[in-house]
Amino acid sequence: MTFDPNEYPLLPPELAAIMVDVPPMPPVTADNVRAIREHARVASARQPRSEVHRVEDRTLPGPDGAIPVRVYAPSPAPSLPVLVFGHGGGWSICDIDTHDALCREIARRAEVLVVSVDYRLAPENPYPAGLEDFYAAASWVVEHAADIGADPARVAVGGDSAGANLATVTCLLARDRGGPTFRHQMLAYPGLDAVSERAGWTEMAHAPMVSARTGRSMWAAYAAGHDPRDPYLSPLHASDLSGLPPAIIVAPGYDHGRDDFAAYATALENAGVDVDFRPYPGMVHGFLSYFAAVPACSRALDEVCAALRKGLADA
């Protein structure tokens, strides 16, 4: 469908102008996924990249081989708080390069060390490969924080879209496996329910950036025949969300996941988890990545980073 800005009156004008020129992402298949990945790399290469004190590529031990990560240190200060970050892309596209600019901004604005995880992608490596990579990387950061200049008592997990799904499920796994303790979770438009029938999936089915049809194809590529109601796939189907770390949830209104975000915030609150729910009615899926071109997106990123910085402050 052709994007019509009149259907989205709350969109900031700068973002509406961008959406006119951004073609909708097609449904992901094994045949086209490599082309979609290349398009994402080319588009992301145009983003400006802020200078930070230190950027380091390294590998961490994983469940099935080494996991590439990129570490962003905003300053030379020791024992920095840290965010283990999972990039978006429907578990099937994007990587640490496509999200390099955003991770630099988060490191700089939140004053946290960011560890961006290049987890394995579907459909070549479906569930639970990417999840186990992210969990292993987050666990390593807690156990070896001093090696990268981080404070093991102030480790958050987070990400955008599919990466936010991996982050919140990692919190479930850490609780259930008796694993590491995370201080906070930062969830920007997370994937939460592979079989959601909430209203947003119909009312925002053709929203900019990622349509409901494309979203379903990404879930299918990732799940690859596993039960889509498995809570380690779809955390909104977890019977128990208690004992999870406080959460920031970033919720754009022009997004088919709109009502899933709100439902997860309510479910966490009902389980006794502190939630900082941040609705952005006029924004689209992926909007934080437009910080350089859209002032309203930059202000939102400032707000989210301030909340993360507060959540990771010394007790």
Annotated catalytic residues are 161, 255, 285
CA 193 to chain centroid: 15
Per the CB < 8 A criterion, the answer to whether 249 and 265 are in contact is yes
Give the count of beta carbons closer than 10 Å to the beta carbon of residue 77.
Answer: 11
Per the CB < 8 A criterion, the answer to whether 161 and 285 are in contact is yes
From its phi and psi, is residue 155 left (phi > 0), alpha (psi between -120 and 50) or beta? beta
Would you state the structure tokens that stand for residue 266, as one six-digit string?
């309510």
Would you state the structure tokens that stand for residue 174, as one six-digit string?
């850490």
Which helix (H) or strand (E) segment is 25 a member of? none
Per the CB < 8 A criterion, the answer to whether 172 and 180 are in contact is no
DSSP collapsed to 3 states, 117-138: ECCCCCCCCCCCHHHHHHHHHH
Per the CB < 8 A criterion, the answer to whether 300 and 288 are in contact is yes
- Return all residues near 126 (Cβ < 8 A) that are at least 6 apart: 221, 222, 223, 224, 226
Q: Please return the burial class of 284, using the count of CB atoms within 10 Å of its CB with bins 0-12, 13-18 and 19+.
A: buried
Which helix (H) or strand (E) segment is 163 a member of? helix 162-176
